[in-house]
Structures are given as structure tokens and as C-alpha cells.
Amino acid sequence: MAGHTWTKTTLAAQIVGELNIQRNAAGGSVPDRLGNIILECFDDLYEREDWIFRRRADTTTLVMVANDTKYTAPTDFGKLDPRWLGETSKESWLQFTDDEQFFARFQYDDIDRTGRPRLALIRPLITEGEGEAADTYGYEFLITPTPDKSYNYPLVYLCTVPTLGATDIPVWPTKFHRLWHHYALARAMRHFRRDPEAWKEAWAFSQAEIKQAVKQNNETLVNRPTEARDHYQDHAMLTSSQHADGTH
């Protein structure tokens, strides 16, 4: 089905038809259990790789103002783009880390001064819901030293997996609908059918498709820096004995 787009509901109906599942099977409603599989596959596929479609560039700026050291990340923030960090790390005046002890040492050195921020700590931010509302999970930036005036720093980040409603069409390239379909179908075959050979064949096919998509995703990235890292403490490109300005 080239070019076909899915929602959770339409994909569940498609897979039910493909597997000829009874909708009211013993042990619970098949659509409910299948729906969970479909959402798990969506979440995993979306965040499995640093897909280009997750990249948010030229849309967000970290706006720092005088005497304020704490800033909330965008609501869809997943992580800073590792490739962007690798490309800008040596020339950037602001470095990033998720190591709180590392950040605290810089913060202690900066306790009596203000100026242009040199280091930002990325840490989880949990906001308690009011009444029966659920807590929300996000991220915030802490910076040091305290800004002496306003500073702007562009952010390039990868968005987190969005919440998918039953009739929502995911916003991603069309081919990912096919990957999602085949991935969920393979999982459903394992769960609902007792044919291990058929499931293994479907699983191998879906994983090969995903592997090819990863290869194509990486091939579109030109001049990828060798110093790009996968962890924020590496992004800072500093050791615990170095300062952000390059002094020891």
C-alpha cells in the first residue's frame, strides 16, 4: 500500500483483516490489545533513531535575560540534536551537559560573577498536575554564570514522540506509515497467531525495512562530524578538570 497513511484505528482494522482475528476473542477485546501493540510500535519506531523529521531547527531560541538562570525547554523537546552539537561544539560560547556534579563545579566557580553564560545543564522537569490532572514531564535548562544582560542562543533539537490519539495521523514521511504497518503486523502475528515461522518471516522483513530507512536517514547527512556524541556530558566536550573557557 504505497502512499497509504494510517491512524491507530485504521491500522488496527487493517491488521485485524490481515490476520482474520475474531474481534471478541477470549481474554479481552482483540482491538484493545492490538491497539496497545500498535501504539508501542509507533513509540518505538519514532524514537528508535535520530530521524531527520524529528529535527527542530531555526524555530527555537534559548532567550536568556539578566539575573535569570532557569529556563523551560520546548514542550516537545526530546534531546539536543547530537549532530548539531558536534558541528558547533568547538565554536560555541555555550556548552551543554546533563552531569549535575559537573555543572555544580562551574556554578560554584561562577557564584560571585555575572556575564555571558558558558554552560547549560539539561535536567528533567516534572510539573505536578492540579486536582486529578496528571503530572507533566519535560526538561529545563540551568545556566551559569548568571546573565548580566540578555543573550540569545539558537537551539536545534529532536522532538519527543507525540501522544497519538485514535484518529490522529502521525506527522512523518509517508514511508514511515509502511514501516509502522509492517512492524505492528509482525508483532501482532507473534501475539495472535501460533505460527512461529510466519511471524519470524514478517519480523525479519519489518526489521530489514527499518534498517534500510536508518541507512537512508544517515546518508542524507553530509559532513557528519566525528566528534558528535550520544550523551550530553560528552556534548560539553569538556573534562571535569576543564573550564568552559578552555582554562584548567
Ranges of residues in the chain with a pLDDT under 50 are 1, 26-28, 223-248
**pLDDT at residue 60, as a whole number:** 85
Q: Which residues contact 172 (CB under 8 A, 6 or more apart)?
A: 46, 51, 53
Q: What is the pTM (predicted TM-score) of this model?
A: 0.80
Write out the DSSP string of 200-241. Answer: HHHHHHHHHHHHHHHHHHHHT--S--TT--SSHHHHTT--TT
> What does the domain layout of the chain look like in residue ranges?
8-50+162-219, 54-161+231-235
SS3 33: helix
Which amino acid is residue 47, in one-letter code? E
Residue with cell 501493540: 37
**pLDDT at residue 135, as a whole number:** 76
**pLDDT at residue 4, as a whole number:** 85
**230 half-sphere exposure, CB direction, 13 A CA radius:** 2
Distances (CA, A) of 135 to 63, 71, 129, 161: 26, 19, 4, 17
State whether the Cα torsion 66-71-76-82 is positive or negative.
Answer: positive
